[in-house]
Amino acid sequence: MTLNGKVAAITGAASGIGLATAEALHKAGATVVLVDRDTDALSAITARLPGSIAQVTDLLDSESCDAMVPEILHKAGAIDILHCNAGSYIGGDLSETDAARIDRMLNLNINAVMKNVHAVLPHMEERGSGDIIVTSSIAGHSAIPWEPVYSGSKWAITCFVQTMRRQLCKKGIRVGQVSPGPVISALLADWPEENLRKAKESGALIEPSEVADAILFMLTRPRNVTIRDVIILPSAFDV
């Protein structure tokens, strides 16, 4: 199956997994709506992806977040695929961070995802079709000791995705998540230096494009098939 004629909205699309997914879905025939707050990056990306659409949204700003889905529908006419990918990371001991950083990460990793899904549901339910993919993490399946806040957020989103999958499966809407291990991206900047060094030396990291391949696989299954979760790990990674 191709994605010809589909409209795919991707949050956090200016870099990392979001950008790699946008490129993969664009190549597969979708009209991609790139959602990010980085206006300059979106301009550069849409210039090289013909037919793609920029959507400047700050998911941590309530008004901007609330306006995202209506603005995309106005620009693109439909949303067939919503990929909630934007997220942030906090590593290290809980005592080493502060309440403001915790609030910011939980708002982006959990609240924004729930609000984006809530906003798109009336549109998808009216059409009787749609795909919702959320970028989770292996940290949503295993309690990673050096990232309690991040791991907690991904456990929460794993629960949300799997409960929404059960709510929406009879309405023609597929809901699933992709759960990567460590991906070469800006999120790793907050990793403990020793952990990052060891991961690089051992080859325990994967590229964003390899996660995008898994997402493309999920979206191109026949409609009677739902891939509920893809755990994709570097072969040398062990949790």
Q: Token digits for 152?
A: 């907690």
d(CA 143, CA 30): 36
Sign of CA dihedral 126, 124, 108, 19: negative
| Maximum Cα–Cα distance across the chain | 50
Residue-by-residue DSSP string for 62-74:
HHHHHHHHHHHHH
Helix (H, G, I), strand (E, B) or coil at 97: coil
Residues written for the chain: 239
The one catalytic residue in 150, 154, 214, 230 is 150
E strand residue ranges, the chain: 7-11, 31-36, 53-56, 81-84, 130-135, 173-180, 229-232
150 is catalytic: yes
Active-site amino acid positions: 150
